[in-house]
Amino acid sequence: MKPSVLTDNWPMGWLRDFYDFLVYRRAPLAPEQFVTPTLKPSIVDRKIIDLLELTDADYILVDAEDNVLTSSESVTNIGLVKGERITSEIIRKLIRNSRKKSEYIETEVAIPRGSLTNGFHERRVRISKLGLDGIVAVLIFDDSEARRLDAVRRDFVANISHELKTPIGGISILAEAIAEGSDDPELVKNFSERMKIEATRLSHLVQEIIDLSRIQNQNTMQNSEIVSLKKIIEEAIYQSKVRAEKRQVQINFVCDQDIEFFGDRKQLVMAISNLIENAINYSPEQTTVNVLLKQNDDIAEIAITDQGVGIAETDLDRIFERFYRVDSARSRDTGGTGLGLSIVKHVISNHGGDIHVWSAPGTGSTFTVQLPINSVKEEQ
């Protein structure tokens, strides 16, 4: 790309109007408002570049012959600009239309990823003619992350609606059955017990949705303190004691030494408790769940191992997704909502850690939490 000749001669009022128009899409200026007698083709004002660098978009400025005067580095990296030319024929046509009609144009454009692949970069482009000398500005916005988050939100709302619908529908049907069989005490008792189960399941689901929302929005450091990981695990085991006794599952905790960690106690207890209860729920009766706490250099490792049904390799990459269940039927029996492991993942990530899982069908699973304990030294 040839060097741009930069000048510093445009009034600030013009620059403000240009920025408002091109970046914020406020009312277009009349062509004569763009005119500056000292501006010549192939000359770019330094203030224009400085303003474009402040936007959240990549940019290209072209002269009347569609030669690139200047551009941001990213557009070259994705192959949109080579030398002094724009490689996308679609964008070149949009530039010519904007120049010819003195119109502001905004649209979505698919930019090929390269000659060796059929993929595309999806980008939103905003194009405007600058003045009467043919210079055109192109702003290129990458909305892929925003679109991904929007898709995640839609999926989350759809999943919540489905998950809430199931227990609510069950309660409604059972209520009707009780009303019809009100003269049969045994039937009423049976349906009432099932209503209680569905109501408990609904309560757990709502609570886990609240927990997940709180974890995602809460600043972990706000409630953090120096905590004992041994006591965290012991509290989590205590919370799971009733469940373990009901399923006749023994919990064996091994701790070589206590480890101090700077974190949110409630969140950590919630995460470890979810892992232990998950191990209990997927273990056969009269088996053992092993919990191990150890230090590996500057990393605290908490491993929860069960003797359960195991997880297929095809499911391992998805088990931390919201509402994903390896075995939907077993989840219904155990009251699982599909949010427990997602909550665990968020808690551990918020504390700068990571979680790994090893599993084989028919053998069992091991979830290993890794937390960086060097943060304790820094805080002290």
Tokens of 277: 């209860």
Domain-terminating residue out of 217, 245, 269: 217
- Tell me the H-state helices in the chain: 12-24, 46-53, 73-77, 89-101, 144-180, 185-217, 229-239, 241-246, 265-281, 313-316, 328-334, 340-350, 374-379
Q: pLDDT tier at 149 (50, 70, 90 boundaries)?
A: low
For residues 143-163, give the mean pLDDT: 68
Query: Residue 16 has what pLDDT?
Result: 56
5 contact partners, CB below 8 Å, separation of at least 6 = 42, 43, 44
Residues 56 and 158 in one domain: no
Containing structural domain, residue 71? 5-142
Model confidence over 326-356: pLDDT tens digits? 555 444 454 555 677 888 888 898 888 899 9
Q: How far apart are the first and last CA of the chain?
A: 53
Residues 58 and 16 in one domain: yes
Query: Residue 40 has what pLDDT?
Result: 38
Bridging pattern class, strands 225-228 and 260-263: antiparallel
Q: CA 362, CA 364: separation in Å to the nearest integer?
A: 6
Residues 23 and 98 in one domain: yes
User: Do 342 and 320 form a contact (C-beta atoms < 8 A)?
Assistant: yes
Residues 243 and 334 in one domain: yes
Total domain count, the chain? 3
* 190 against 197, higher pLDDT: 190
Domain-terminating residue out of 182, 217, 252: 217
Residue recorded with tokens 């996308």: 88
Residues 247 and 137 in one domain: no
Residues 372 and 241 in one domain: yes
Query: Residue 195 has what pLDDT?
Result: 80
**Residue 285, burial from CB neighbour count under 10 angstroms (0-12, 13-18, 19+):** exposed
pTM of the predicted structure, to 2 decimals: 0.52
Residue recorded with tokens 């997880």: 311
Q: CA 277, CA 43: separation in Å to the nearest integer?
A: 68
Residues 184 and 225 in one domain: no
Question: What CATH number does residue 293 fall under?
Answer: 3.30.565.10
Q: CA 95, CA 128: separation in Å to the nearest integer?
A: 8
